[in-house]
Amino acid sequence: MTTRILTGITTTGTPHLGNFAGAIGPAIRASQQPGVDSFYFLADYHALIKCDDPQRIQRSRLEIAATWLAGGLDPDNVTFYRQSDIPEIPELTWLLTCVAGKGLLNRAHAYKASVDKNLENGEDPDAGVSMGLFSYPVLMAADILMFNAHRVPVGRDQVQHVEMARDIGQRFNHLFGQGKEFFTLPEAVIEESVATLPGLDGRKMSKSYDNTIPLFASARDMKDAISRIVTDSRAPGEAKDPDTSHLFTLFQAFATPVQAQTLRDDLLQGLGWGEAKQRLFQLLDGQLAAPRERYHELLARPADLEDILLAGAAKARHTATPFLEQLREAVGLRSFRNIVQAAPEVAKKAIKSARFVSFREQDGSFRFRLLAADGEQLLLSRAFADGKSAGAVSKQLQQGGEADVRAEGLSYHLWLEGEPVAEGPAFADAQARDAAILRLRAALAPVEG
Ligand code: TRP
């Protein structure tokens, strides 16, 4: 069975080394495993929740797309797309919005943090909170459920959102599945080892701490950042403890075990911090120089990036469009054409059983016919002087009166209380007549009005 892995990156910034090591790199490697079907996308609708600067949104989408590809993502091997190129996602968001409890969303950490902050400042609890922020987890649930992802690699802060996607998916399945599980319930996956990549000051590398190392900026910028890594004040020649050094932690995240061991030994032997920084720079530059070049090539050809992403969107919609159609059906958003199709079915059902039809002859007499379910005329009654007596006879037959069918030449007569009251049509041969008699008996057995 293939495992579907899905993750998105909100397009509000320029990826830094921590994003690359923590999310993009591991995701690219995961996509190269056998038995994996990966969906990676630019969460640009999510970006609108956090950012109202169109230039920045546009720039970030471009940079993040180029970063994935420069990092070695093969768009033929994965489904790589922009969230905003998949109209099924906002549509699914609405279907999910209608089943997601408001109380569930009230508990979302990001929303609660805003409310708490407002309360602290003596403001209205919802000051500055958009519906986008409030519904953020529903949009994310749509991202995940749309493609029935099994595993969703995310940072720790996003785990709650994946759990909400499970809740919402489960509720939809329960309400509309009729025993069918429309949605796979996803699981969050945290890359423990790399989620904690330290920044220049030793805290988690994050743009909000302003402690990042740039990823594909120039070698010079990277060198500058590395020179700002905070170390203790031990001089060259003094033994240094690698285990309390985030410079070492950073090095280790990119080094082979042998390279890490060498630096560890050398630090214990008194290697100077300046020297250690130089080694970190060389290690990173060695690994990033080639992708950096690819990155800048890609940025120089935005139209090609557009083509790649549109092809990815087409691939994603190949799954999303028919799936959403099923979901629309499930909630009752169905084509009226299917009702037209259903109508003859209803009619068929109604004439499943044989029926009596009475009529008046031109001479004023009354008769009835017995028509089989398929419309075949099984009986034509004799003429009655008035409708009442015709009705009485057909009623007797309907109520299972003692009717007697007798073959007569190539036809048959129906006798009731000692007299013939109706006759069958003429048949080509006795066999056809006898077959019709069987049909007549069957029709009379359970006749319904
Ligand atoms: N909210 C995620 C973040 O900020 C990005 C994201 C959007 C996402 N949709 C997703 C991640 C679906 C995983 C799955 O990191």
pLDDT digits (tens, 9 = 90+) for 386-431: 999 999 998 888 887 778 899 999 999 999 888 899 999 999 998 8
Residue 85 structural domain:
3-100+135-194+301-330
Ligand 1 in contact with 320 (CB < 6 A)? Answer: no
Residue 352, pLDDT score: 59
Count CA atoms closer than 13 A to 363's CA, side-chain side. 6
Residue 347, pLDDT score: 46
| pLDDT for 273 beyond 60 | yes
Ligand 1 in contact with 152 (CB < 6 A)? Answer: yes
Domain match, 92 and 31 both: yes
| Alpha carbon of 374 to ligand 1 centroid (Å) | 59
Domain match, 177 and 95 both: yes
Ligand 1 in contact with 140 (CB < 6 A)? Answer: yes
Residue 345, pLDDT score: 52
| pLDDT for 30 beyond 60 | yes
Of 135-139, 175-179, 273-277, 372-376, which gets the smallest average pLDDT? 372-376
Radius of gyration of the chain (CA): 38
**CA 295 to centroid of chain Cα atoms:** 31
Q: Where is 266: in which H helix or E strand? A: helix 257-268
CA-nearest residue for atom 4, ligand 1, is 10
Domain match, 226 and 264 both: yes
Of 121-135, 180-194, 223-237, 334-348, which gets the smallest average pLDDT? 334-348
Q: Which residue has the tokens 């994946």?
A: 162
Closest to 136 (Cα-Cα) out of 122, 151, 157, 152:
157
Residue 341, pLDDT score: 52
Q: Domain total for the chain?
A: 3
Atom in ligand 1 nearest the alpha carbon of residue 43: 7
Ligand 1 in contact with 143 (CB < 6 A)? Answer: yes
Atom in ligand 1 nearest the alpha carbon of residue 139: 9
| Alpha carbon of 39 to ligand 1 centroid (Å) | 12
Ligand 1 in contact with 82 (CB < 6 A)? Answer: no
Ligand 1 in contact with 8 (CB < 6 A)? Answer: yes
| pLDDT for 197 beyond 90 | no
Domain match, 250 and 184 both: no
Of 106-110, 308-312, 349-353, which gets the smallest average pLDDT? 349-353
Residue 189: φ, ψ to 5°: -125, 125
364 conformational bin, left if phi > 0, alpha if psi -120 to 50, beta if neither = left
Residue 446, pLDDT score: 55
**CA 144 to centroid of chain Cα atoms:** 6
Asked whether residue 128 is assigned to any structural domain, the reply reads no
CA-nearest residue for atom 10, ligand 1, is 8
Residue 178, pLDDT score: 87
Asked whether residue 209 is assigned to any structural domain, the reply reads no
379 conformational bin, left if phi > 0, alpha if psi -120 to 50, beta if neither = beta
Domain match, 37 and 160 both: yes
Domain match, 189 and 53 both: yes
| pLDDT for 350 beyond 60 | no
Average pLDDT score, the chain: 92
User: Which residues, in sequence order, are bridge partners of residue 41?
Assistant: 8, 81
Residue 353, pLDDT score: 77
| pLDDT for 194 beyond 90 | no
Beta strands in 154-270 (DSSP E): 187-189
| Alpha carbon of 44 to ligand 1 centroid (Å) | 10
> Coil, strand, or helix at residue 382?
coil
